Structure 1
Amino acid sequence: MTTRSRLLVLLAAVVLLALVGGAAVLRAADRAGQKDKEQAGGPRVTRGQVSLAAGGEPRIAFRNMAWGPHRDELTTVAAGRPDGPRTASGVNCLRFHAAAGTGICLQSGGKAVVLDASLAEVSAHPLAGIPTRARISPGGHLAAWTVFVGGDSYAGTNFSTRTSVLDLRTGRLEASLEEFTLHKDGKAHRAADINYWGVTFAADERTFYATVATGGRTHLVRGDLTARTATTLRENAECPSLSPDGTRVVFKKRVAGLPAEAPWRLYALDLASGRETPLAEQRSVDDQVVWTGPDTVAYALPGDFGADLYAVPADGSGQPRRLMSSAVAPVLLP
């Protein structure tokens, strides 16, 4: 065999090995991609039309946390099949809430965006910090949002918040609830360390409940948007959520003896009697629950892809159950 022939054989062998190696790499990459999808184990998520309007089959709207092109998008799923196929809207939210065909979407770009039923932008307002809580009133006329302006966790004490309330009927924006008069222990309380967060609205579109922190303690407050006042009702209550009938709030409460980074348990408070009832969830819940019916609340807990949603009866009975995986900020659309 001549030198030229040997070179040609060698070259052919190199090319063949390269082709075989490339095919192996592509097959491995494909298998890895399939494995990632199988490990994700998430439901099918496809782009489609999403509406906040009531009517038709009940749905749950939420922020989708499943890996893929639709992560962080506002998404819906049939309420009766929460593990079923999801419809993604293309609208990205870090925090979200909706009621009566109106939505509030807190975005990573530093905006609070009010949405109509078709998810069109009604108005946008700058955020002063990191989004953490959002609420729409039952009638869809009020929007509230809370941001961290110092620190990024409720677990410790070194944080500062700012909570704003927007009246969608008049366009009036209360930039900070700290400007309201706070009544504590029967008298007006003024301090530099007052922080509000976790607003929940009553059906009269005027009354609200929230958390206020001052003097190193947290309190449940009842507020009046017209009078621009807030009154403390109870100590050690955070992120309240008012029941659909307006008689109870479910909140997270710091319990002595629990780890500093996971100190909360969920409790229900009967507003008329003042009676507290611990819920069956034994894990620490750092969330503002959402009522998904007259007697059930939903909330997020850490999951493989950020967060999973769970539900538990609001009367202390039963056991928590996983509602859906890879989701946060749920809202029931009747």
Structure 2
Amino acid sequence: MVTEEVIIDPERPLCDPHHHLWDHATAPYMLPELLADTGCGHNVVSTVFVECGAMYRSSGPTALQPLGETEFVNGVAAMCSSGSYGSMRGCAGIVGFADMLLGEQVGAVLDQHKSLSPRFRGIRHCASYDAAPEIRTSHSNPPQHLLLRDEFQAAFVELAPRGLSFDAWLYHPQLRELTELARAFPNTTIVLNHFGGPLGIGPYAGKQDAIFRQWQVEVAALAACPNVYAKLGGLLMAVNGVRGLKQPLNADEIVAATGHYYRYAISCFGPERCMFESNFPVDKRNCSYASLWNAFKKIAASYSATDQDWLCHDTAVACYRLQKSP
């Protein structure tokens, strides 16, 4: 049995800008599970849901089936905002999916997402791809060089006029392509997920120092684009090289293993463009919610109180245009 940690700075308001909901038979993560984690003792006041292929419509045009996910999550958000489940505003922002290979036709899909929920803030079409067979391509099955394809960029044009952002999930060898995209569309908000996915398995195993140096160069170039925000979290996935853990990591172990990524990203983007994220329930395989946010607070402790506010709450609220908690 794991002994839970004492919560650090329990009154500090937190916004968790990246979690999923799904009803997988073996490991469901629905509102009760989310409330159990966010209610662990940290003061989580709001969250942002990010697409994961949940509750798609079972019929109708393929391009419109992802609307089911927005409908589902908006219902969960309405449950939270009712106050019947506590004061935490779960899913106060929704990042859904639209097929960016539709080109300019994606605009009609985006409009329907927006009509289904006033909480809809943007889309994520994962680009994570690597030729190594050991590395899993993301659930949306992207082609290689997705971000640079003409159809994708024709679709990308449709985001900014609708006030929508783009969440980017990719692997570290693809960071240069994201920088090209950010430079080409300076008026579109882009949110880098999970530090840009530094890989640690397959041909990348055992090369952590070299990969970190390469990642530093690419992230510094990306951070020079003022329209890009960074989500800081998601480094405890198998693809990062985390394997065979016999027990969950505690906060100090998380900081020791990953803190150098956090400190460098914050130095490049600044606290006003960085936000801590749980990536739950994916990272739940290797740590508890309480330990993860304790780790974040330990990392943030060397910054000013104002900067801690940005990292823990204010950046996420500003980026996803959520109502700021008192």
Q: TM-score, normalised by structure 1?
A: 0.32
Q: Which has the higher strand share?
A: 1
Q: Which has the higher helix share?
A: 2
**Which structure would you say has the larger Rg?**
1
Greater relative contact order (Cα < 8 A, sep 6+) = 2
